[in-house]
Amino acid sequence: MNKKRQICILGSTGSIGTQALEVIEEHSDLYEVYALTANNRVEQLAEQAHRFRPAAVVIANEQHYDKLTQLMSDLPDVKVYAGSKALDDIVEAGPIDMVLTAMVGFAGLSPTIHAIKARKAIALANKETLVVAGELICQLANEYHVPILPVDSEHSAIFQSIVGEDQNPIEKILLTASGGPFRNCTMEQLQTVTKADALRHPTWDMGAKITIDSATMMNKGFEVIEAKWLFGVDAKQIQVLVHPQSIVHSAVQFQDGAVKAQLGVPDMRLPIQYAFSFPRRLPLSGERLDLFAARNLEFLEPDMKKFRCLALAFEAILKGGNMPCILNAANEIVNRAFLEDRCSFLQMSDVISETMQRCTFSNNPDYDTYIQTDAEARRIAAELLQG
C-alpha cells in the first residue's frame, strides 16, 4: 500500500483550513494530517486535533499555549507548540509532504519560505505571500524544485486550463471577479457602506479579511499580482472581468486565440482538492454545475474609479520592487481598521495610496527589505488613519 500523503495545514481553523479538512476526511485513504496550526481559536484547534490526531499542533499566539496544553492533555502523543517561530519549525518536519498555507496576511511569508527550503510542496492559499514577495518565492521554489499549487479558485482555474500546454505561451489571462457586494453602488453610496454590508458577500463564504478585500476589489488586485508570479506573465497581459455569477472561475487565451476556462459551482473544496491531488482528479461530493439554470453569464469591465484599490494594485505591480509589499501592509492596516469601525470604505484606498507615496521605495528588495518595508508601511498607514 502506498504511504498516505502527510499534510501540514497553516491556519486550519479558518475558512480554507476547515474545508481542507473536509477534503482530507473524504479521502482519508490518501491523505493524513501531520500538523494543524491556528492563531487564536484554541478550542477549535484542540477539537480538530482530537478528530484528526496529527503529530503536532501549533498555536501562533503564545498566550493560548497553557490553555492548549490543558485541552490536549488526554492526547500525550500529539506535540503542542506555540509562537510564530514554531510555525517556521513545524513546516520543516521530515514526514511532511505538503504544506497548505491557509493563514491570513504577511504572517504567511516566513513559514512559506521555511517550507520551500525544506522541499515541501506548497498548496498556496495565502496570496499575500506572493503579493509581498512573489519574485523571491518563485526564485526559491525554482532553486529548491518545489511545486507551488494554487488554491485560489481563479488561479486553480488558470492552472487547470494550462495542463498539457507546457510548450504554449499564454497570450492573456482572463481573471474573473464576482464584483463583490458593492458592484452596483454609486460613489455616493460607497461613502456610507458599513462592514456589515461588506461582510455579506454574494457568492463566496470566506474569512473576514478577504471578504473586505473582495468588497474593495483589492482582492482582485492581489490576484493579478499572484497570477503574474504563478504563471510568469506581465501584469499587462491580465484582464479583469467582473462576472457576478462566479461560474467561470477564470480563463486563459493562447496565441491562436483559443480560450480555455474552468467552470463550476462556487465551492473552494475543488481547488483545495486539486492542489492536493494534481495531476489526478478525485471524486468530490456536492452540487454540480447546471448550465441550463445558469442561463445568464455576464462579463463586465471593472470600474477602477469606484474600486480604486484595483487600480492601486496594478500601479504597485507595474512599479515593482517593494511596492506590492507596501500595498499589502497598508491594506492590512486599513482592512483591520474598517472591520473595527475606525476607517470608512473610501478612506481605505486614500490611506493605501498615500502610504505608497510616502514609504521608502526599494527597486531590488531581499527578505530583510520586505520585513523593514512591511513595518514602515504599517506605521505610516496607522499614522495616516489617526489623521
**Which spans of this chain sit near ligand NAD (rule: CB under 6 A)?**
11-17, 38-41, 60, 102-104, 107, 125-128, 152, 204, 206-207, 209-210, 268
Smallest separation (angstroms) from Mg ion to the CB of 355: 24
Query: Given the complex with ligand NAD, which of 256 and 340 has the nearer CB atom?
Result: 340
DSSP for 102-161, written as a single string:
---SGGGHHHHHHHHHTT-EEEE--HHHHHHHHHHHHHHHHHTT--EEE-SHHHHHHHHH
Partner interacting with residue 17 (select from Mg ion, ligand NAD, none; CB below 5-8 Å by kind): ligand NAD
Query: Given the complex with Mg ion, which of 152 and 332 has the nearer CB atom?
Result: 152
Query: Given the complex with Mg ion, which of 133 and 157 has the nearer CB atom?
Result: 157
Partner interacting with residue 302 (select from ligand NAD, Mg ion, none; CB below 5-8 Å by kind): none
Partner interacting with residue 15 (select from Mg ion, ligand NAD, none; CB below 5-8 Å by kind): ligand NAD
Query: Given the complex with ligand NAD, which of 39 and 353 has the nearer CB atom?
Result: 39
Smallest separation (angstroms) from ligand NAD to the CB of 102: 5
Query: Given the complex with ligand NAD, which of 85 and 358 has the nearer CB atom?
Result: 85
For residue 169, whether the previous peptide bond is cis, meaning omega lies within 30 degrees of 0, is: no
Can you name the residues that pair with 289 across neighbouring β-strands?
none
CB atoms within 10 A of CB 260: 17
Smallest separation (angstroms) from ligand NAD to the CB of 187: 26
Smallest separation (angstroms) from ligand NAD to the CB of 368: 20
DSSP for 225-252, written as a single string:
HHHHHHHT--GGGEEEEE-TT--EEEEE
Cell 486550519 found at: 12
Smallest separation (angstroms) from ligand NAD to the CB of 188: 29
Query: Given the complex with ligand NAD, which of 89 and 354 has the nearer CB atom?
Result: 89
Smallest separation (angstroms) from ligand NAD to the CB of 223: 9
SS3 at position 328: helix
Q: How many CA atoms within 13 Å lie on the side-chain side of 17?
A: 25
Q: Give residue 176's region: left, alpha or beta (phi > 0; psi -120 to 50).
A: beta
CA 217 – CA 221 distance, rounded (Å): 7
